[in-house]
Amino acid sequence: MLDAHVVKARTRFTVDVALKVASGEACGLFGISGAGKSTILACIAGSETQDAGHVRLDDVTLFPPLLPLHRRSIGYLTQDANLFPHLQVAENVRFGLTNGARETSESWIVELRDRLNLEPIWHEPVHAISGGQARRVALARMLARKPRLVLLDEPFAGLDRYLVRELLATIARWQKELGFTMLVVDHASDVLERLCPRAIAIEEGRIVQDARWPELRAHPATPLLGELLAPL
Amino acid sequence: MLLRRTGAVIFAAALLYPLCGLFVSVGPWRWDGGTIAGAVRVSLVLTGIAMLVVVGLGTPMALYVARASARERLWWQAVLLLSVLLPPLALGILLSLAFGPHALGAFFAPLGIRLTNTPLAFVVTQVYVSIGYYVLGAVAAIDSVPKALEIQGGLLGQDRWNVFWRVTFPIARLGLAVALSLAWVRALTEFGAVVITAYYPAGMPVALWTSLENFGLPAVMPLLVVFLVTALPLPWLAHILAQRRLTRA
Q: Which of B145, B198, B199 is nearest to B169 (CA)?
A: B145
Whether B204 contacts chain A with CB within 8 A:
no
Residue-wise pLDDT tens digits, B56-79: 999 999 999 999 999 999 999 999
Q: How many CB pairs under 8 A join A and B?
A: 62
Whether B95 and B198 have beta carbons less than 8 Å apart is answered as no
What are the residue ranges spanned by the domains of chain B?
35-248
Q: Which residues from chain A sit within 8 angstroms of residue B152, using beta carbons?
A: 76, 82, 84
Mean pLDDT estimate for chain B = 91
Question: Are residues A69 and B155, on separate chains, in Cβ contact within 8 Å?
Answer: yes
Q: Model-level pTM greater than 0.90? A: no
Contact B157 A125 (CB under 8 A): no
Residue type (1 letter), A116: L
First to last CA, chain A: 36
Say if residues B119 and B201 touch (Cβ distance below 8 Å).
yes
ipTM: 0.93
User: To the nearest whole number, what is the mean pLDDT of chain A?
Assistant: 93
Task: Specify whether the CB–CB gap between A145 and A109 falls below 8 A.
Answer: no
Name chain B contacts of A45, Cβ cutoff 8 Å: 151, 155
Dihedral pair phi/psi, residue A29, rounded to 5°: -105, 120
Tell me which chain A residues have a C-beta less than 8 angstroms from the C-beta of B171.
84-86
Tens of pLDDT, residue by residue over A22-63, are 999 999 999 999 999 999 999 999 999 999 999 999 999 999
Q: What is the pLDDT of residues B187-197, one digit of tens each?
A: 999 999 999 99
Does A206 contact B at CB distance below 8 Å? Answer: no
Q: Does domain B35-248 have CATH number 3.40.50.300?
A: no
Say if the Cβ atoms of A78 and B148 lie within 8 Å: yes
B154-197 pLDDT, tens digit each: 999 999 999 999 999 999 998 999 899 999 999 999 999 999 99
Q: Exposed, middle or buried: residue B16 (CB in 10 Å: 0-12, 13-18, 19+)?
A: exposed
pLDDT at res. A105: 84
Q: Is the confidence at residue B92, as pLDDT, over 90?
A: yes
Task: Report the relative pairing of strands A52-57 and A2-9 from DSSP bridges.
Answer: antiparallel
